């Protein structure tokens, strides 16, 4: 087993309020727990990934996982954002 370093870029759109769309701190607090669920884990055995993604945990599989989990967090914590 070996580790990989991920860099995740997230873009959001929404109404500007007080000169910004969202607090970066608040956004990071919402998304960080989702990243930690996979960070440092053996992806081939992490039950959060679907069966096919566990067989071959490519960056595309991780992107799909994060897109779904981040979209859920956005809807819950920041419904005005997309």
Q: What angle do CA 25, 30, 35 make, to 5 degrees?
A: 105
Report whether 33 contacts 41 (CB < 8 A): no
For range 21-46, the mean pLDDT: 93
pLDDT tens digits, 52-68:
999 999 999 999 999 99
What stretches of the chain show up as alpha helix (H) in DSSP? 24-36, 51-55, 59-77
pTM for the full predicted model: 0.83
Report whether 15 contacts 21 (CB < 8 A): yes
Query: Percentage of the chain with pLDDT > 90?
Result: 88
Cα separation, 60 vs 63, in Å, equals 5
- Which residues, 6+ apart, have CB-to-CB distance to 71 below 8 Å? none
């Amino acid at each position: 087993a070996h580790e990989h370093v991920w860099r995740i870029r997230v873009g959001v759109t929404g109404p500007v309020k007080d000169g910004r769309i969202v607090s970066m701190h608040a956004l990071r607090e919402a998304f960080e727990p989702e990243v930690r669920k996979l960070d440092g884990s053996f992806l081939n055995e992490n039950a959060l990934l679907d069966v096919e993604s566990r067989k071959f945990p490519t960056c595309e599989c991780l992107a799909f996982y994060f897109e779904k989990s981040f979209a859920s967090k956005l809807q819950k914590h920041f419904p005005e954002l997309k």
